[in-house]
Amino acid sequence: MDFVKKHIVKPGESVNLKSVRTEPDGPFEGKEEAREYVEETIQKLRALQYRLYVEGKQSLLIVLQAPDAAGKDGLIRKTLGRMNPQGVRSYPFKVPTPIEQAHDFLWRVHQCTPAAGQISIFNRSHYEDVLVVRVEDLVPKRVWSKRYEIINQFESLLAERGTRILKFYLHISPKEQLERFKERLDYPEKHWKLNVGDYEARDRWPKYLEAYEDVFKKCSTKDAPWFIIPADKKWYRDAAVASIVHETLQEMDPQLPTVQVDLDEIRRLYERELAEMDND
């Protein structure tokens, strides 16, 4: 099941998002099989994450971008968030605060990049500064058009220091999005999410696709590739992302430090003392 090969955007590749499937195309028979695969993969992920943490040399940055309701939160809650929280942090980037606005666009994300041994998950990211900012015309073109190269330089800086970067676009169809908006009406716990703005943003869907296509063409690099994940089916989305993260951690191959102590000596020491305790 080579999800990496299937979904990666090669450096410089032009993508026409409308022609990319939002529905899965194999390899699972269906939901159940995919869910089992996710469970197994998470266990393997956790074991590798432990090694990454103990090794303390490399780190991993996972960037999630998607239209509303495509499932960034669900993916974190049900899959990526099941790693050990001592080694993984999730950062939601929302409308910039006044302090964030008063800095360059990379300032707030730079503070959240993972330290050695750690994993950061960005729920939205610096890419909003060439997506929403472009489509909603928040800064002039001469400003945002320079940002692709700035982003590439920033990401190579991270890569240079030992950070692997995986960037996922969760690709859903407009119809699936609308179905999910509608579902929220049936769950009182989700009513706070209802927002007429979400619905209206749908008019700008084609402009967003165009902005994403530019991102993929300009910013999918060897060090920091983009992946386009068919996300109409949640079980496929979770399986594909878990698999790509797992494969990446395997490649990073974190090593446990070699132990300098004399295990036998320590064992004798412990056994002697335990015996004494029993005699007390």
**Closer CB to a second copy, 13 or 179, in the complex:** 179
| Residue placing its CB nearer to a second copy in the complex, 81 or 162 | 81
Query: Nearer Cβ to a second copy, position 31 or 182?
Result: 182
CB of 26 to a second copy, least distance (A): 26
Q: Which is nearer to a second copy, 5 or 94 (CB)?
A: 94
By beta-carbon proximity to a second copy, the closer residue of 70 and 151 is 70
CB of residue 218 to a second copy, shortest distance in Å: 29
Q: Which residues bind a second copy (CB under 8 A)?
A: 50, 54, 73, 76-77, 80-82, 84-86, 88-90, 92, 121, 123, 174-175, 178-179, 181-182, 185, 188-189, 191-192, 194-196, 199, 256-257, 259, 261, 263, 266-267, 269-271, 273-274, 277
Q: Which is nearer to a second copy, 10 or 175 (CB)?
A: 175
Shortest gap between Cβ of 257 and a second copy (angstroms)?
Answer: 5
Q: Are 244 and 225 in contact (CB under 8 A)?
A: no
Q: How far is the CB of 231 from a second copy (least distance, A)?
A: 18
Alpha-carbon distance of 65 to 228, in angstroms, equals 10
Give ∠ CA 201-206-208 in degrees, rounded to 5: 65
What region does 71 belong to: left with phi over 0, alpha with psi -120 to 50, or beta?
left
The CB-of-267 to a second copy minimum distance in angstroms stands at 5
Closest approach, Cβ 128 to a second copy, in A, equals 17
